[in-house]
Amino acid sequence: MSLDKLTRIKFISEFLIESIDVLERVANMKKPPLDITTLEAISTECANAHNTKAVEDKLSAMANAFEGRGKANSWTEVLLGKIDECFRKNYCLDSGVPCDLLFFPEEPDNFNRFTQYCSDVDKVLLEEADEVPRYAREYFTYSMIWKVHGHKFPIPLGTATVIEAVHHLAMKYQCGLSEVSTASCLTYHKLVSEICSITKYGHYAAHLEHSEVLRNSMYKLRGTSWTHVQKCAA
């Protein structure tokens, strides 16, 4: 297996770790300290803020609550499919290929698409209230306030098409993947079949029940330094 392919797998594996983490945190059954109206107002405030310190202070209790986890398998495949459709609607071209501005910083069109994506997902969570974790709307809204989580750009929930998009863009811009740490090729080989089965077939929900094993395996790869990604200039 080439170094380029290992680097892509390493990048995708980190995204999978974060995706599983967020889905479990959004499924937290503990009542959050802030209600949905307050969170939506803070989200709008943060989107327009250059300095997020004041926003972070308002969200400190929410940040602590977000450390809790629910059960990943509380997300059914049907529900994840509806959330995934929100991503396809907002980020995929008619051909099904993801638009290049996904994960691109300082891109107004990306921000607009993300805002609509969040609105569409919230609508799904509201309409499917009997099927989703009780406080999913609150924790989802918090998880999507990307600036307070230290992200450089908005990151949608890691449903099947999002993961496929990560894989597609990593292939397209592989020259922009910079290797900053080394890891055992043998360890990667053990994970390749699991990772590729998710990205190729999209049966994401079926893998969530094994998320603890998958996450623990992937965490061993992270070390103290990790792959960083810089998209090549057009």
In the chain the first and final C-alpha atoms are separated, in Å, by 28
The set of residues, in sequence order, having a beta carbon less than 8 Å from that of 51 and lying 6+ positions away, is none
In the predicted model, is pLDDT for residue 125 greater than 70? yes
**DSSP characters over 170-199:** HHHTGGGEE------HHHHHHHHHHHHHHH
Candidates 56, 227, 29, 25; CA nearest to 146 is 56
Structure confidence at residue 215 (pLDDT): 46
Expressed in percent and rounded to 5, the helix, strand and coil fractions of the chain are 65, 5, 35
Element (H, E) at 200: helix 185-201
Read off the pTM: 0.74
Question: pLDDT tens-digit profile of 201-222?
Answer: 344 444 444 444 444 444 443 3
Separation CA 201–CA 31 (nearest Å) = 35
Question: pLDDT tens-digit profile of 46-86?
Answer: 988 888 899 999 999 999 999 999 988 889 889 999 999 99
Separation CA 170–CA 167 (nearest Å) = 5
Average pLDDT in the chain: 75
**DSSP characters over 67-127:** T----GGGS-HHHHHHHHHHHHHHHB-TTSPBPTTTT-TT-HHHHHHHHHHHHHHHHHHHH
